[in-house]
Chain A
Amino acid sequence: MLIKGTINLFKGLFVVFKHLFKRPVTLEYPEKRRALNNVFRGKPSVNGCVGCGICQKVCPTGAISFSKDENGKVTEYKFDLKKCIICGNCSFYCPKGAIKMTKEYELATDNKENLILSYKDFDI
């Protein structure tokens, strides 16, 4: 029993030992980054919005808001990244394809105001 157990322990150790000569699996993060493909969901960006409001309806957290003037015309589009869970619903259901999920994923900042994206040019 003891001898058999020891032999099996060494067999297991051999598997661990083999890994000494393999290439590392991880990357040294800030210097090296792995490639991301086009469907990666990161920080959203808006370009070519017509103010239809569908994104607001499908957003689970209420991160999207519009400001309107007295005629009901949309003047400002706001994206609150503090609330955004980057689910990609807005970009998928946007009828104009105006919302794109970029590859930017490092969103840490020292100022909260930087996390509110504001867009003012509309194609209406």
Chain B
Amino acid sequence: MTITTLKLNLGPQHPSTHGVLRLVLELDGEKILSCEPDIGYLHRGMEKMAEQMSYIQYLPTVDRVDYLAGFFYSELLCRIVEQALCAELPEKVRVIRVMLLELNRMASHILWIGMFLMDLGATSPFFYTFREREMILRYFEKISGQRMMYNYFVFGGVRRDIDYLEDVEEILSVLPSKLDDYEKLIEKNSIFIRRVVNKGVLEKETALNYAITGVNLRASGIDFDYREQDYLYKGFDIGKVILKEKDSMARYRARVMEIKESMKIVRQALDYLKKSSPLEQKLINPINLKLPEGDYYADIEAPRGIASCFVRSTGEKEPYRLKWRTGSYYSVNLLRKLLVGEYLNDAIAIAGSLDIILPEADK
């Protein structure tokens, strides 16, 4: 008797894969023997596009690298230019940026909770998380003009002074009770527990070999948070979230705890901004801006792992080469290892727990 295996295409139009991820699975019954992720369906040529645009022309488009965490990528490009021209940021600009980045991280993690639960078949948390996320997005709209494509950070500062701080206050007061609601609804639900506990265990060595960063790494028990070394976060008290369980449940809990830690950072920033004087900043003139010849590199702790940007300049108006490093790209690659030996019905739950955003992986 010969054992025949089944090749199954999961995606790219499967309703529960986020965006357009295609997984070619080899199945023996319901057990996964191998997994081959196929990405690129959302490739927009973000890197090649940069070579034909000046830095200021490219700046509005980088929000689209990851539409759930646009601020992080604008910050990276601004950081490259500021680094190259040795521009110093005023204290207030730094705090404004930290506050918006952390609010953006909260929005991204909150959305992930909804999406993850949707993957597991629960629909109500999806609506509740979108409601909470909307509060943050409305605030972003009030200060930047749009909900997701902010274009608020500019070279050397921010577009306009921060305002509507009472909205942030409201977000910080409302969110803890909502997180408690999620806990009642989700964390004690026995169906949820059975589908995530001891599923998709990510060992330390595997995580390091596959260059996993961010929450997924910290949920595997490795103490590494880039924010601690980041000059932007200087003076901020950053709580560590490190869990030892290594499974999907740990990744869920780490994200919920990280939302709470982000709230503390936002609180620190808010206290500073309430007392601060009106914004004074010296913006870099972007018209005919040319970076000095050389290589520039910057990184930041984005919601899906460390994001970094590399720019090689030959002294022209356009970069000679621009490269993004995004966390999701490495998480997608990890599925090759993580799904082997698991059952098909757990595949979506495990893939969901890694917080993969396809536009970010494809760029």
Could you tell me if A25 and B131 are in contact, using CB atoms closer than 8 angstroms? yes
Bound: A85/B191 CA distance, A: 44
B139 CB to closest chain A CB (Å) equals 11
Instruction: Count residues of chain A with CB under 8 A from any CB of chain B.
Output: 30
Is A57 interfacial (CB 8 A cutoff)? yes
Known: A12-B185, A25-B131, A86-B146. A58 touches B190 (CB 8 A): no
Q: A residues within 8 A CB of B145?
A: 39-41, 88, 101
Q: Tell me whether A89 and B186 are in contact in the complex, defined as CB-CB below 8 angstroms, given that A39-B145, A57-B54 are known contacts.
A: no
In the complex, are the beta carbons of A8 and B189 less than 8 A apart? yes
B91 on the A face (CB < 8 A): no
Which residues of B sit under 8 angstroms from A85, Cβ to Cβ?
A: 60-61, 149
B-facing mask of A56-94, CB < 8 A → 1, else 0? 011110000000000000000000000001111100110
A19 / chain B contacts, CB cutoff of 8 Å: 124, 128
**Chain B contact residues: helix, strand, loop or mixed:** helix
CB pair B287 A54 closer than 8 Å: yes
Across the interface, which residues of A come within 8 angstroms of B11, CB to CB?
Answer: none
Bound-state Cα–Cα, A101 to B190, Å: 51
**A8 to chain B: closest residue by CB:** B188
> Is the C-beta of A9 less than 8 angstroms from some C-beta in chain B?
yes
A60–B57 CB distance below 8 A:
yes
B151 part of interface (Cβ distance < 8 Å)? yes
Closest Cβ of chain B to A45, distance in Å, is 15
B193 to chain A, nearest CB (A): 9
A54 to chain B, nearest CB (A): 6
Instruction: Given A39-B145, A86-B146, A88-B145, answer yes or no on A15-B151 (Cβ-Cβ < 8 Å).
Output: no
B147 to chain A, nearest CB (A): 10
Q: How far is the CA of A16 from the CA of B189 in the complex (A)?
A: 13
Q: Which residues on A sit within 8 Å (CB–CB) of B189? A: 8-9, 12
Supply 20 further A-B pairs (C-beta < 8 A) apart from A11-B188, A57-B288.
A9-B189, A11-B184, A15-B181, A16-B124, A39-B143, A39-B145, A39-B160, A40-B141, A57-B54, A57-B57, A58-B287, A59-B57, A60-B60, A85-B60, A85-B61, A87-B61, A87-B151, A89-B57, A93-B56, A93-B286
